[in-house]
Amino acid sequence: MASPTRRLRELLGGGGSIAVAMAVMNVATYGFTMIAARMLGPRSYGALASLMATLLVITVLQLGLQATAARRIAAEPAHVAQIEKTILGVTYRASLALGVLLLLAAPLLNVVLRLDSLLTAALVSVVSIPFTIMGAQAGILQGERRWQALSVLYVLSGVPRLVIGTALIAWEPSELSALIGTGIGACAPVVAGWWLLRRPRDPGLSSEEHGFRRVIRESVLNSQVLLAFFALSNADIVVARNVLDGHDAGLYAGGLILTKAVLFLPQFVVVIAFPSMSTMSERRRALTGSLGLVAVLGAATTAGAALLPQLALIFVGGDRYDEIADHLWIYAILGTVLSMLQLLVYSVLARQGQRSVYLVWAAFVAMIGLGLTTDTLRGLLTAVITVDALLLVALLAVSLHVIRAVPELNASSTPEPGA
């Protein structure tokens, strides 16, 4: 067993670079969002926010593939060549199938998101392809603990979008230009991932456990869990565009910029903690310690938004969103709750639990139903926070119960059935 000093050294050497890279990625992504909010204004930005929320839900396939690759490679590194080949084969097919499906669904997206542009809705199908491929590449690097290489992918996932997207919005201020910039930027990490994974590998061991069908099954199950979470965390913007007028829906979307910032700020904690949460002997410590760290970061952000709302407003979109300045601390609370929920969802993936996802889907249905009964910005925000907070308590109770019930065995990667 590794000594505490060695574990700390590994965390600083690997996790530290990931933390910095993801901070750069999130700052770049946040910067692009803030610039888009300022240059497009509430109405056009509301349309872009709904498109980005749709893309975020779609990327559950990307993250499901990443979790599958990382868990399998970390658990059985002797099979890395077989796992990589299978994962990439599944990914290329899945990305093309998703692209075709979204192209067929473009008319529906155009109506649901109230875009009034079939071309913009159709472009979502093209952007989804590089997003999906990058997930498998990142999962392989994460499973191999190639932290420096994975850091490159994360940086390229944010910076090109900021540069290219901003340039296109400056040239033509519209949600279509912003989406085109997002799609072009998404190709950069895919190219880098291909380069980083191009080297030949030792064939290693082979097993039916890492065959095509079993990898597909786990990827689907992982994606289903993540779909539930991302549907829950992004459906409110769609609800807002249907229960609020265009101006208020844009204001609500502006406040969600801060929510997403708080949600993604501790994302590096998930990447670092995921391997430990996959090991029974470290599972409880990894989960409770990570939740504590996420809560502290969220509390600090919430306090900052409450004490300095005008400063926080600058990062949301400026004076055009002044009407929600006094509500920004509430948006920060929502982001904190969502970030803790995200960690719990990855804990479910790490132990391959299956029934816990039903709680997330139930919360999604409850949030939609309750949200549709509101007609004010404050009412919708209150409904969303209430549902998410109740889910957090329920999911935490289930997770701690399952962890307590499972015997702590060293170096076990056997999936746990049930919750």
Q: Which sequence spans correspond to the domains of the chain?
A: 12-405
Tokens 């479910």 belong to residue: 348
Q: Calculate mean pLDDT across residues 128-134.
A: 92
Closest by alpha carbon to 51, among 156, 171, 180?
180
Mean pLDDT of 318-336: 83
Q: pLDDT, tens digit, for every residue of 207-243?
A: 666 667 888 888 888 888 888 888 898 888 888 888 8
Sign of CA dihedral 19, 24, 28, 34: positive
Give me the helix-helix angle, 267-277 and 60-75, nearest 10°.
40
- 5 has pLDDT over 50: no
What's the pTM? 0.76
Q: Mention every residue, 6+ apart, whose C-beta is less than 8 A from residue 369.
A: none
SS3 (DSSP) at 130: helix
Q: Does the pLDDT value for residue 317 go beyond 70?
A: no
Residue of 45 and 150 predicted with greater confidence = 150
**CA 79 – CA 206 distance, rounded (Å):** 6
Q: Computed from CA positions of residues 411, 415, 417, 419, in that sequence, does the dihedral angle turn out positive or negative?
A: positive
- Other C-beta atoms lying within 10 Å of the C-beta of residue 170: 11
Q: What is the pLDDT of residue 196?
A: 92
Residue range 356-410, pLDDT digits in tens: 888 999 999 999 999 898 888 888 899 999 999 999 999 898 888 887 755 544 4
Query: What are the tokens at 256?
Result: 């969600």
Q: Tell me the C-alpha to C-alpha distance, in Å, between residue 303 and each of 328, 331, 389.
A: 10, 12, 18
Plot region of 113 (φ>0 → left; ψ -120 to 50 → alpha; else → beta): alpha
Confidence of residue 333 (pLDDT cuts 50, 70, 90): very high
